[in-house]
Amino acid sequence: MPISSLHTQQSLLDRVCAGDRDAWQALVVIYEPLVRHWLRPAALQPADQDDLTQQILTVLVRKLAVFRHNGRAGAFRAWLRSVTLRETADFCRRRAAMPPVRDFENLDALPSPLDELARTWDAEYERHVLCGLLALVEPEFTPPAWQVFQRLALEGAVPRTVAEEMGMTVNAVTLTKSRVVRRLRQEARGLVD
């Protein structure tokens, strides 16, 4: 089944745990760029960053079955972050020649949700997840429809202006944007925060 036909309301993570290869592909599209972004401060060589990213994704799929969402917003994000931090610390220990990036031993010292760093972390997470969702659904739409969506939803253009640019009615551009937004919401329903 192609990614575009993932319309189930079952959690993306549940589908990955059940062995759904398309769900795993969707998870990688969404979260691999985020993990890579989180690894930037470690200043790793590109090959080491690739290895570590694959290691984190391997641990993620292996331990996903034991992850239990506590109902709080950001629970999966915090869990993924702790997996990333632990694997990075282990990676640095294995590569003893590399100076430690940070003290990863005390995960309780991570910023509280009220800290500016935590807010920045959350904004980066949301930005990366949105980019992943956009990449998943874009192939389902024609280039003109996607252009209408980008102009209206991402660039904040006025519907009348976009309608004139595209040779469409205001109603048509508004409906096009609505179809893309609806599809994004369908795909996002399966995600766990």
What are the structural domains, with CATH classification, of the chain? 3-140 (no CATH), 141-193 (1.10.10)
- Three-class SS string for 117-143? HHHHHHHHHHHHHHHHHHHHHHHHCCH
Whether the full predicted model's pTM is greater than 0.85, yes or no, is no
- pLDDT tens, position by position, 48-84: 889 999 999 888 888 887 877 777 777 788 888 888 8
173-176 contacts at long range (C-beta below 8 A, 24 or more positions apart): 173/148, 176/145, 176/148, 176/149
- pLDDT tens, position by position, 142-185: 999 999 999 999 899 999 999 999 999 999 999 999 999 999 88
Mean pLDDT over the full length of the chain: 78
